[in-house]
Structure 1
Amino acid sequence: MASISSRRLQKELTEIHMEGCPVGITLVKADDFETWWFTIEVMGESVYRSEVYTLQFRFEPNYPISAPAVTFVVTDGRKAPLHPHVYSNGHICASILGNEWSPVLSVVSVCITLQSMLASCKKKEPPVDNDRYVRTAPDNPKKTRFVYHDDTV
């Protein structure tokens, strides 16, 4: 018997394959219902114009009731965007991934939101507490109690 999570993810994956992703968003890999990768490119006039970043989505068995763990992929060849809500380890401080998560949100809607978050940013700078956070951060960003107090960047 398929779980709620796998049924929902199969539905989302089918929609992506049939309808495609919005401009600037590309499904890179979705071999299972545990981890998916997407690239997002910031479109239009922005300090991130034409930059491409890779997102990793990790799903728990109770998705979509709980949010996926979403991070920017950071490896030797890839960096997280320099942004006030993105830590250099790839963790993202965004309320839709925390206390404002809703089961009506989808993987693609999260990608669109993060793409928009980057597009609307006026200045490339790290979070104020980046160094401290990266030193002490858990592997899973969902274990962090982010404080969502600044949605102006």
Structure 2
Amino acid sequence: MTSSSALSRKALSKIACNRLQKELAEWQLNPPSGFKHKVTDNLQRWVIEVNGAAGTLYANETYQLQVDFPEHYPMEAPQVIFAPPAPLHPHIYSNGHICLVDNSPKARDSDSVALYILYDSWSPAMTVSSICISILSMLSSSTVKQRPADNDRYVKNCRSGRSPKETRWWFHDDKV
């Protein structure tokens, strides 16, 4: 059992349950375009189908996201990974870990290191829908289908069960 799955085994707090039930109800009324929630009886783990946007490298391709919610969601970010096979993308590792950046001018500092909305710059105001839209935007803006340069090293280091939330991400290319 990985450290991330051990954490996800803790029961959701009442606040987390209420928030997730509200988000799920909103999703069912108005799902983000290009996404489909796969219905299960597990509120703590969502499986979401992602359809690549038309006119992009990922058009007509379908992937699955696995979203695991921690006990204290939304005060703590969910863990979001692509289930195998993960799309080929410069910010998606072959094990499904995502380096999702916030490329807004406010998020970048003077040396172009961006903040990561699934990690350091998580905000309780974010929702599963906003995460999905950010992921689709990241996929849609890619100009190449390739793994990150350090994919093999990173995936090898994650074999011990490391969660992507335990990674210190560094990003220097805000064009992808």
Per the TM superposition, whether the score is higher than 0.5 is yes
Matched, 1:109 2:119: no
TM-score if structure 2 supplies the norm length? 0.79
Paired-residue identity, %: 45
In the TM superposition, what whole-angstrom CA distance separates every residue of 1:67-121 from its partner, at most 9, and x where no partner exists? Answer: 10000001xxxx1010000000000011110112111110011111101110110
Q: CA RMSD in A?
A: 1.3
In structure 1, which of residues 5, 16, 31 is the aligned counterpart of residue 27 of structure 2?
A: 16
Q: Distance in 2 between matches of 1:97 and 1:151?
A: 17
> Would you say the 8 A contact 1:37–1:56 is kept in 2?
yes
Alignment length (residue pairs): 147
Q: How far apart in 1 are the matches of 2:26 and 2:56?
A: 29
Q: Distance in 1 between matches of 2:30 and 2:37?
A: 9
**Structure 2 unmatched runs, 5+:** 1-12, 101-115
Give the letter aligned to residue 17 of structure 2. S
1:92 corresponds to 2:98:
yes
Query: Whole-Å Cα distance in 1 between the matches of residues 162 and 34 of structure 2?
Result: 28
Letter in 1 for 2:132: C
Opposite residue 93 of structure 1, the aligned amino acid is C
Report the alpha carbon displacement of residue 132 of structure 1 after superposing the two structures with TM.
0.3
Secondary structure at the counterpart of residue 109 of structure 1: helix
* Higher alpha-carbon deviation: 21-30 or 57-66: 21-30
User: CA–CA distance in 1 between the matches of 2:19 and 2:123?
Assistant: 14
Higher relative contact order (CA 8 A, sep 6+): 2
Q: Contact 1:3 / 1:61 at 8 angstroms: preserved in 2? A: no
The match for 1:125 is 146
Deviating runs (4+, > 4 A) in structure 1? none
Q: CA deviation at 1:30?
A: 4.2
Structure 1 unaligned regions, length at least 5? none
Q: For 2:148 and 2:71, locate their aligned partners in 1 and report how far apart those are by CA, in whole Å.
A: 31
